[in-house]
A and B are shown apart, each in its own frame.
Chain A
Amino acid sequence: MLACLCTVLWHLPAVPALNRTGDPGPGPSIQKTYDLTRYLEHQLRSLAGTYLNYLGPPFNEPDFNPPRLGAETLPRATVNLDVWRSLNDKLRLTQNYEAYSHLLCYLRGLNRQAATAELRRSLAHFCTSLQGLLGSIAGVMAALGYPLPQPLPGTEPTWAPGPAHSDFLQKMDDFWLLKELQTWLWRSAKDFNRLKKKMQPPAAAVTLHLEAHGF
């Protein structure tokens, strides 16, 4: 047991969090980003209900699950669990940032098309919140020293369907946009929760280590 304690103390200077004295690290930023995703999730629930009623049936039916036909350009949130686990922090954050950049752009297009002023107000409010989330993710990436992904010139996504794009398909796209946004918010909550746990102060890890040895 004494040997274990000595080993722990020997390795103590190697724990980075203990070496930092004044800088709280990215932990609080990640926590805030996590909180923001949860808030947006709640906000989207209300907005999606209103917007889908605005589109009419079948889009506002609870069991409506159309094929993802015209929404290929939307960033896909679903990913294989093993792949998701194997993502490193940088890639994880980059995917989040890119996804919300695209989704925000599509959402602004949705806002421009909305007919009622109340709906436009709700969408604009949500866009502002989403912009905040994007800034928050950028902050976390900056704190961890990761560069922000640069959008390629000319690849700015637009919400201008071609002439063959029917209004029904357009509604399908709107439906998928909201659905994908919701899935992304769920995924982000898990992403930031994972990051948060990773960035927790190592003192807890020391304690766990000692407990594991029978203390």
Chain B
Amino acid sequence: MALFSVFQTTFLLASLSLRTYQSEVWSEPLPWAPESLKVSINSTRQCLHLQWSVHNLAYHQELKMVFQIEISRIKTSNVIWVEDYSTTVKWNQVLHWSWESKLPLECAKHFLRMRSAVDDAKTPEQRFWSNWSSWEEVDGKKGGDRRPLFVFPKDKLVEEGSNVTICYVSRSQQNNISCYLEGVRMQGEQLGPNVSMFNLNHVAFIRETGTNIYCKVDQGDGIKGIVLFVSKVLEEPKDFSCETQDLMTLNCTWDPGRDTGLLKQLSQSYTLFESFSGKKTLCKHKSWCSWQVAPESQETYNFTLTAENYLRKRSVYLLFNLTHRVHPKAPFNVLFKNVSATNATMTWKVHTIGNYYTLLCQVDLYGEGKVTQHNISVKVDGEHLFGGLEPDTQYMAQVRCANANRFWKWSEWTCQNFTTAEAAPSEAPDVWRNVKSVQGDCVVTLFWKPLSKLQANGKILFYNIVIENLDRSSISKLLSIPAPANGTEVILDQCLYQIHVTANNSVGTSPASVIIVSGDPGNTEVEEERVKGTEDGFSLSWKPQPRNVTGYVVDWCDHPRDPLCDLQWKNLGPNTTSTVVSSGAFRPGVRYNFRIYGISTESVPYLLEKKTGYSQELAPSDNPQVVMSNLTSHSFTLSWKDYSTESQPSFIQGYHVYLKSKAGQCHSGWEKAVLSDDAVCCKYKIDNPKQKTFVVENLQPESFYEFLVTPYTSVGEGPHGAFTKVTTPDEYSPILIRIILPMVFCILLLMIICYLKSQWMKEKCYPDIPDPYKSSVLSLIKSKENPRLTIMNIKDCVPDSIEVLNKQEGTRKSLTETESTKPTYLYLLPTETSYSGPGPCICFENFTYNQAASDSASCGHVPVPPKAPPSQLGLLTSPENLPKSLEKNYMNSLGEIPAGETSLNYVSQLASPTSGDKSSLPTNPPEPALCSEYKMQMAIPLGLASPPSSGSSSLSSITLLEEGEHYH
């Protein structure tokens, strides 16, 4: 066996060698060589099409052959493609083969040749290649086009991510050519002397109008370009579905997927093909298409939806039975009839599909937050009765239908609203009262809660109130209160009344709510208890009542600080002894008062308990207004009686009295406290919130203290605002006041008495000096002793000298000084008005005192008055009329005048008016000084000092002539 295998192998090798030898040596052409080669170009697809035929085949002969095809580019030696194409060749058959070039065929010449071999088992001896055909040259460019520059391929459509090769062909080799992709220069590869190609890999979509690629000659205005349309990959249609509403038209829909991003003319098209009927339709829309159902009853349809564009083709299939794809139209003409308070009948129509089709309709009813659903079979008209409806309620009914035989899809909903009729209110209103006793009458404020919608059964128009006097058993009053009032006030006497309250709408009256009001306001001595509220409300509990009660009522005010406190109440059963009162109106820091009533079997409410509390206690925001009294050197009293503990944001537990002192020592009962500003003070705690006075003791006299009273609660104390300052008085002041005040009083009393008894006092203490003229002694003397004797009259005295003083105002003196010093001397002279010019003046210059003043000022001339002021002498007799200050000043200023001078009186400058008499005669204006500051003396003739005839002299002149001072 092994020997046989070796022999067989040797034979095969020998035969193969022989065949090879034959193919090389035989020059005889193969009888079935390819002939009549024709090459054509499809520039758009960049394809080379080759067609040829094989002659010498016998009629009906079929031969399996292999054709080897070689393609060269630019020159024949540059082979770029070799392919063996196997096929079965028949007699007289023209064979075809195509090759797609990556490089546009216009960019370079291509050469093509082929040879053949028989690959048929029937003729094994012919298994060798024929001779090559001659090269077929293919030139994509048009020969006659002499334009200088070309860019290939012409506008091309590719898918996103493809690789594209572009080339330019230039007629001239001298020009430099640059190529750009969307404005960005590309780097190419030189194919020939005037051909370059550019490979674009993974091209991306840029815009619908394509990617612009262009080349231009650097010197010149030649520009050539192409538009590369890049398409996103065409997706397969999704959710392809067909249905009918009337068994006449099929409506097919699908999701086309993402847009390919091409212009409309390049975008994909959709075709619908039905295989049973063989019909085809081109869809006008991208996502749906209509198909007319054939009149003959074709039930089954097999659709092929094909999406196709230049680059790709995608198909989906759908096989279905027409009757299973019925999607009815929405019902119409939905109406309601026989609508009462609780019932309504709904009718509707449906579009007929066929004679034998029954529809299943679903009816939904929405109302009062509930939904009810009903299913009804319908042929043409549908009807459904809704029962158990609420009166005066708006309902919304909707209906939709589907094929009852074979469900496919519900139709669209059709909706309609209706409102049921009104009915009489079903429940009595919830009534409560507040009783106040005003001037012997019983003022009852009735409150009722509006009925809920379910209870009212319509719009409440008014409330009827019947007040029945139980003592007299007769109806005393009937009130009708229009809605929406929720209360009224009635004034009753101290009798027992039963009040019926009913609510009325347009249909009828509600059951009556009965409440008994007695004139007795009830037990007001009930102790008030404190309750602690939470965010959820107040938990209230009360003791169970030994006597029979029909229930309990808890009432409170939602807004206790408002005059209309918004009374609220809660009805509770007879077995209840606790409840939680919650309200959205509860606010932190507001005290709420709750009253718990028991309702007797006679419907009489009586007060059981009172509760008070805060939903949340807050620290006090204000401190009391403290009044300080009884201030002594060792104590004072603080009082804040106006501070209301009821209106505070929490229960006041007491007060803290803070006291600041310089000593910093705290007495017993006080404790040291550090305030928020690190100030140390003493604190006294008052535990009793009702104590609103406090005496601060053990203080130091003549000491400064600061105090503050602030309330404290379980959640903190009031603000540490401004302290009130107080200084304790001197310890002896009160004693002194006690002594001095009576003394002053006594002196005053004495003075009043003296004044009242002045005549008596005068007579007693200093009687009048007798007038010698009036004396009887004079007559006696005259008659008895010497008739020439007489009493000397002062008018008869002739003065021998007069002193005149003047003060020259210095330029450096201030106005005030000038005014104050001037009168002392100036008024010795005549008044300014009587001054008529310079008169005789005697100047004494004293350079010792003020050289500058003497230099600057001219020597003043004191004018000599022609006459002395008329009142000068007349007034000398009454010196007490002079103002005291003036008199004093003048006396002081002249105090240094040496006595004994009779003709001329020199006044030294040492007597300058700086002696503090600034207040004297301030009404005299500063006069322009005619002389210097130096004082002057002048001699005045005696005649000039004669008594004046008029009384217009100045006061100073009078002073000048005061008796006893200047006359010697």
Contacts and interface: CB of A to CB of B under 8 A. Distances in A.
Interface string B458-499: 000000000000000000000000000000000000000000
Contact of A56 (B154, B207, B221): B207
B219 to A, nearest CB: 14
Contacts of B229: 167
Given A166-B227, A167-B227, A59 B212 contact: yes
B812 interface: no
Given A67-B221, A67-B222, A166-B227, A57 B212 contact: yes
Contacts of A66: 221, 223
Interface string A170-184: 010000000000000
Interface in A26-70: 54-59, 61, 65-67
A56 B226 contact: no
B182 A54 contact: no
A200 to B, nearest CB: 43
Contacts of A167: 155, 210, 226-227, 229
A81 interface: no
Nearest to B183: A57
Interface size class of B (residues with CB under 8 A): 20 to 34
A57 B223 contact: no
21 contacts: A54-B207, A55-B209, A55-B212, A56-B182, A56-B206, A56-B209, A57-B183, A58-B180, A58-B183, A58-B212, A58-B214, A65-B221, A66-B221, A113-B263, A166-B154, A166-B226, A167-B226, A167-B229, A168-B212, A168-B224, A168-B226
Interface string B206-218: 1111111010000
A101 to B, nearest CB: 27
Nearest to B229: A167
Interface string A156-199: 00000000001110010000000000000000000000000000
B757 interface: no
Interface of B: 154-155, 180, 182-183, 206-212, 214, 221-227, 229, 263-264
A193 B588 CA distance: 82
Contact of B183 (A61, A65, A116, A166): A61
Nearest to B261: A115
Given A55-B209, A57-B183, A171-B209, 16 more contacts: A55-B212, A56-B182, A56-B206, A56-B207, A58-B180, A66-B221, A66-B223, A67-B221, A67-B222, A166-B154, A166-B155, A167-B155, A167-B226, A167-B227, A168-B225, A168-B226
Contact of B212 (A56, A65, A67, A113): A56
A116 to B, nearest CB: 8
A166 B157 CA distance: 13
Contacts of B209: 54-56, 115, 171
Contacts of B212: 55-59, 168, 171
Nearest to A67: B221
A54 B208 CA distance: 8
A64 to B, nearest CB: 9
B264 to A, nearest CB: 7
A42 to B, nearest CB: 25
Contacts of B208: 115-116
B700 to A, nearest CB: 92
Contacts of A67: 221-223
A115 B263 contact: yes
Given A115-B263, A166-B155, A167-B155, A57 B221 contact: no
A166 B214 CA distance: 12
B761 to A, nearest CB: 118
Interface string A57-97: 11101000111000000000000000000000000000000
A92 to B, nearest CB: 31
Contacts of B222: 67
Residue picked from A115, A116, A168, most chain B C-beta under 10 Å: A168
A58 B226 CA distance: 12
**Nearest 7 pairs between A and B by C-beta?**
A57-B183, A167-B227, A168-B225, A167-B155, A115-B208, A67-B221, A56-B212
A171 B214 CA distance: 12
Contact of B227 (A54, A58, A65, A168): A168
